[in-house]
Amino acid sequence: MKVRVRFPDGTVKEYEASEDKSLVEIDSRFRDYVVAKDLDTGQLFDLTVPVDGHKNIEVLTFEHPEGREVFWHSSAHILAQAVKRLFPEAKLTIGPPIENGFFYDIDFGGKTLTPEDLERIEQEAYRVIEADYPTRREEWDSQYAKEFFRERGEDYKVMLIEEFGEPKVSVYWQGEFVDLCRGPHIPRTGLVGAFKVLSVSGAYWKGDENNPQLQRIYGISFPTKEQMDEFLHMYEEAKKRDHRVLGRQLELFDFYDEAGPGLVFWHPKGALLRSIIEDYSKKKHLERGYQLVQTPHVLRTKLWEISGHLEYYRENMFLVEAGDETYGVKPMNCPAHILIYRSRKHSYRELPIKFFELGTVYRYEKSGVLHGLLRVRGFTQDDSHIFAAPEQIEDVVLDVLELMKEILGKFGFDRFDIELSTHDPGNMDKYMGSPEEWSNAQNALENALRRAGLEYRIAPGEAAFYGPKIDVQLYDVLGRKWQCTTIQLDFNLPRRFGLTYVDRDGKEKTPVIIHRAIFGSVERFIGILIEHYAGDFPLWLAPVQVSVVPVSDKFMDYAKKVEQELKSRGFRVYLDDRKERVGYKIRDAEVKKIPYTVVVGKREVEEGTVSVRKRKEGDLGAVPIEKFIEMLKEEISD
Instruction: Give me the active site residues, please.
Output: 334, 363, 381, 383, 385, 469, 515
Whether cis (ω within 30° of 0) applies to the bond prior to 468 is: no
CB 530 within 8 A of CB 412: no
**Distance in angstroms (rounded) separating the CA atoms of residues 453 and 458:** 16
**Distance in angstroms (rounded) separating the CA atoms of residues 319 and 328:** 5
Which of 363, 369, 341 is closest to 354 using CA atoms?
Answer: 341
| Torsional sign, CA 228, 234, 237, 241 | negative
**Distance in angstroms (rounded) separating the CA atoms of residues 42 and 37:** 6
CB 78 within 8 A of CB 177: no
**Distance in angstroms (rounded) separating the CA atoms of residues 191 and 183:** 16
**Distance in angstroms (rounded) separating the CA atoms of residues 566 and 569:** 5
Residue 633 three-state SS:
helix
CA 622 to chain centre: 45
Which H helix or E strand runs over 220? strand 213-222
CA angle 627, 628, 629 (to 5 degrees): 90
Looking at 389-451, which runs of residues are DSSP E strands? 416-421
CB 349 within 8 A of CB 489: no
Whether cis (ω within 30° of 0) applies to the bond prior to 115 is: no
CB 301 within 8 A of CB 309: no
Buried b (16+ CB within 10 A) or exposed e, 5-16: bbeeeeeeeebe
DSSP per-residue letters across 348-363: TTTPSEEEEEEEEEE-
**Distance in angstroms (rounded) separating the CA atoms of residues 374 and 266:** 15
The amino acid present at 340, given as its one-letter code, is I
**Distance in angstroms (rounded) separating the CA atoms of residues 262 and 252:** 16
Structure letter (DSSP) for residue 453: T
**Distance in angstroms (rounded) separating the CA atoms of residues 462 and 548:** 55
End-to-end CA distance of the chain: 65
**Distance in angstroms (rounded) separating the CA atoms of residues 79 and 95:** 9
Cα Rg of the chain (Å, integer): 29
Structure letter (DSSP) for residue 223: S
**Distance in angstroms (rounded) separating the CA atoms of residues 80 and 67:** 20
CB 502 within 8 A of CB 508: yes
CA torsion 591-476-402-491 (nearest 10°) is -120
